[in-house]
Amino acid sequence: MAMLEPGAPRFGESEAATRGEEFILNMGPQHPSTHGVLRLVMTLEGETIIRCTPIIGYLHRGMEKVLENRTYMQGIRYLDNSEYLSPMICESAYVGAVEQLMEVAPPRRGQMLRVIVSEMQRIASHLVAVGTYLPIWELSPPSCMPSATARASSNSSKRSRAAASR
């Protein structure tokens, strides 16, 4: 069986990793809904992450420049990409601005439908947020939880301690 020389890279290791050199890695976005919203700049030494700098807020995609060469009707399609959870809210704002520029008013029924759809999408986006963060809240210590949840958790732990001491 052949022995490796001391300090020689093992299988899967790079030469830089064995010398202790730092390596900068840009990571992300990983999911279609995070198309530039989150980027991680990581400094690695071998397989160990030394520093990780999260850079958030890259949602701007130059839509204003794209819309300069489109008609008002063609511009609506681009607004779906700006907000994945509630695109109709963005479209309502855009269409409202276009209507003001053209000095036209939508029918009352159209206004009501816009409000209803916007509210439904707002509620849906809040439910996604709650569904995303609920597991985190359940695993967090009570001091990190919202106050009502922390009180409920604290009361249940007091009851369980009291039952155990009997």
Rounded to whole angstroms, how far apart are CA atoms 156 and 147?
14
Domain locations in the chain? 21-56, 63-154
29 preceded by a cis bond (ω within 30 of 0): yes
Reduced to 3 states (helix: H, G, I; strand: E, B; else coil), residue 49 is strand
Q: pLDDT at position 110, please?
A: 94
Reduced to 3 states (helix: H, G, I; strand: E, B; else coil), residue 19 is helix
CB 55 within 8 A of CB 39: yes
133 versus 88: the higher-pLDDT residue is 88
Radius of gyration of the chain (CA): 26
Mean pLDDT value of segment 142-162: 56
Going by pLDDT thresholds of 50, 70 and 90, the confidence category of residue 4 is very low
Mean pLDDT value of segment 114-130: 91
